[in-house]
Amino acid sequence: MRNRLLIVLCFAMLLRLPAIAQISEGGMPPGLRYSFDEKMGTTIKVDPPDIEKIKNEDEIFKKNGEALRFAQSIPVNVDLIKEGAWIRLPDGGRVCCLTIESEDAQALIIYYNHFTIPAGGKLFLYNKDRLQVIGAFTSRNNPKRCSFATEMIQGEQVTLEYFEPEHVSGVPAIVISEVGYVYRTAENFFKHRGFGGSDTCEVNINCPEGDDWQDEKNGVVRIIVKAGPSSYWCTGSLVNNVRWDLTPYFLTADHCGNTATPENYDQWVFYFRYEAEDCEDPLSDTLFDSYTLTGATKIASSGGAGYASDFKLLRLNESVPDEYQPYFNGWNTVDEPSSGGVTIHHPNGDIKKISTYTDTLQSDNWGVIPNTHWRVVWSQTQTNWGVTEGGSSGSPLFDEKGRIVGQLTGGQATCIFPSGPDYYGKFSYSWEGNTYSDSTSLQPWLDPDSTGVTELGGTRVGIADQDNDQHHLVVYPNPTDGIIHVAFTGFSGKSVNLKIFNILGVSVYEKTFTDINGNQLSLNISHFEKGVYFLSIIIDNKERQSVRIIR
């Protein structure tokens, strides 16, 4: 099934390197710095899938109850280290180079069933014209389990380069099990003739309609969903929890990858900040910085695709880096209809959009269980009449206060028929309505201490969702060897409850200061084990702020 030939694809002029690609170290692949002999690279050609058969299946799936499939995986068994061409570099190191090609692919996604990089090793990937370069992936990216994935690479060719410095210890294991063949929705990605696959009525998040939703948008994420041999577009959101500890909980729809295995979840790719800078569509996304994470673990779900309130709660396998500007959206568990709000989503896998409703939500259902969903009808706004599409599945529905009240299952709204209803699984039903089992409810995870909180604000790294900005919190030095200083501005006369949580969300320190007289407190945490912690304060029992600290 695979034809092999030798070809050089390990040298070219570097045109552009993205600032961030997944969680990686950046840098330049050796093949873009050195000129190699023309017969020193290895190319593996992979036969494309039966696209006509796949498209016929997609016509049956459409929008309702099915996520938008855009790629189909081709099984392979490619050991980069054994099958790539090894080249000695002038600095004494070595590089292993291998190219995978599949005819007429719009883009390729590489899935691994073994991914281990020893300290010092670096993996890069780039496309044929070198406009897209990702990496370096290092030992920092080694997954807890074996499965891993790298983000979508434009075009029908992707080159992998593994760099091994001189005297490195440890043996890499980089084995590719599947090649995701992208056959639609990327027609305009990376091009200069227009952009994105969503319909013409959609409204970019940075249009005037998004002015009041600049925090909430940073919690909304595009997802490459891997389930069996297929890949789908969906949307989801980071969600806050009552401990305010920045645990990377993530809410989407259960029908997004309802058949996904734990190994599949390790291969999901999450795209943050994938949006236009302003209201206009950009000409290309080649100038976008890439902010992605790979892998998650399913924590709880409604119990099946489209069943009950159709929710899925994940925990991302990695904390979200500060430079991603993450926002952990708040929520409302009260079963009362909102009179207005928005959804923020990635229709058809496109850049981030916003759709607005001004009519009060109606209680409804998707299946046979009553009152599991909110029925929403979108409104025409200043820029256009935003709706939802395939790829919007799992997107959060916000009330007028910016709290999540549901996630998208499906509906009838289109640009041709914008007044058709859409249906969002109720957050209030997902809270504990499916059953009281931890695996089918949100409450045990988002309120693990059973405080009874029914409405929670959002939070971002360093500062929480507040009614005003007069209170500021700074923690330094960070990272710390043991002593940290907690500096306050505007806290005089306030009551402050200070807590520190470890990465598992367990409280390891708590103290209440009833009347802050100065502007600074000093704490000795030298007895803490080295790692990541979260310092959280509650001001006068209402305002909350959180800061991540590294010991």
Determine phi and psi for 420, rounding to 5 degrees: -70, 145
236/254 Cα distance (integer angstroms): 11
User: What residues have CB less than 8 Å from 542, skipping those under 6 apart?
Assistant: none
Contacts of 351 (CB under 8 A, 6+ apart): 195, 196, 204, 205, 274, 275, 276, 281, 282, 285
- The closest alpha carbon to 303, from 435, 172, 445, belongs to 435
- Token pair belonging to 394: 């799992």
d(CA 377, CA 396): 15
Q: Quick check: 224 and 233 in contact, CB under 8 A?
A: yes
Per-residue pLDDT tens digits of the chain, which is 551 residues long: 433 333 333 333 333 333 344 666 677 887 777 665 545 679 999 999 999 899 888 877 665 557 889 999 999 999 999 999 999 888 888 999 999 999 999 999 999 999 999 999 999 999 988 888 898 899 989 988 889 999 999 999 999 999 999 888 888 999 999 999 999 877 654 443 224 679 999 999 999 999 999 999 999 999 999 999 999 999 999 999 988 888 999 999 999 999 999 999 999 999 999 999 999 988 777 667 778 999 999 999 998 778 899 999 999 999 998 889 999 999 999 999 999 999 999 999 999 999 999 999 999 999 889 999 999 999 999 999 999 999 999 999 999 999 999 999 999 999 999 999 999 999 999 998 766 678 999 999 999 888 888 998 888 875 444 443 444 567 778 788 888 887 765 555 667 788 888 866 778 898 887 765 555 678 899 899 888 788 887 776 655 667 778 88
Measured distance CA(540)–CA(79) in Å, rounded: 58
Residue 482 Ramachandran class (φ > 0 left, ψ -120 to 50 alpha, else beta):
left
Give one DSSP letter per residue of 250-268, joined into a string.
Answer: EEEETTTTTT--HHHHTT-
Please tell me the distance from the alpha carbon of residue 264 to that of residue 413, in angstroms, as a whole number.
30
Q: How many CB atoms lie within 10 A of CB 468?
A: 7
Contact 532, 547 (CB under 8 A): no
Cβ atoms of 393 and 253 closer than 8 Å: yes
Most distant pair of Cα atoms in the chain: their distance: 74
Nearest-angstrom CA–CA distance, 143 and 481: 27
Q: How many angstroms separate the CA atoms of 460 and 466, rounded?
A: 11
Question: CA torsion, points 521, 526, 528, 533, in degrees to nearest 10?
Answer: 50
Nearest to 389 by CA among 196, 217, 227, 213: 196
Q: How many CB atoms lie within 10 A of CB 65?
A: 18
For 167, residues 6+ apart whose C-beta sits below 8 A from its C-beta are none
Residue whose C-alpha is closest to residue 112's, from 295, 256, 234: 295
Closest CA to 10 of 115, 182, 163: 163
Domain ranges of the chain: 2-182, 470-550
- Residue 351 and residue 276: Cα distance in Å, rounded? 7
Q: Which two tokens stand for residue 151?
A: 């983000």
Q: Which of 92, 95, 112 is nearest to 35 (CA)?
A: 95
Residue 397: its pLDDT value, please?
98
CATH architecture of 470-550: Sandwich (2.60)
pLDDT of residue 299: 96
In which residue are the tokens 């883009």 written?
107
Write the CA distances from 86 to 28, 100, 164, 418, integer angstroms: 18, 16, 10, 56
Q: What is the DSSP letter of 282?
A: P
Give me 242's structure tokens: 């009552």
pLDDT of residue 36: 57
**Under DSSP, is residue 508 helix (H, G, I), strand (E, B) or coil?**
strand
CA proximity to 261, closest of 107, 146, 132 = 146
Going by DSSP bridges, is the β-strand pair 2-6/496-502 parallel, antiparallel, or unpaired? unpaired
Positive or negative CA dihedral for 278, 280, 281, 284? negative
CA distance readout (Å), 194 to 187, 198, 206, 281, 284: 10, 11, 18, 8, 7
Please list the active-site residues: 255, 310, 393
Q: In angstroms, how far is the first alpha carbon of the chain from the final one?
A: 51
Q: Which residues contact 173 (CB under 8 A, 6 or more apart)?
A: 81, 114, 115, 116
Give the Cα separation of 361 and 348 in Å (integer): 25
The Cα angle at residue 443 between residues 439 and 446, in degrees rounded to 5: 105
| Nearest-angstrom CA–CA distance, 466 and 504 | 26
Gap between the Cα atoms of 491 and 519, Å rounded = 7
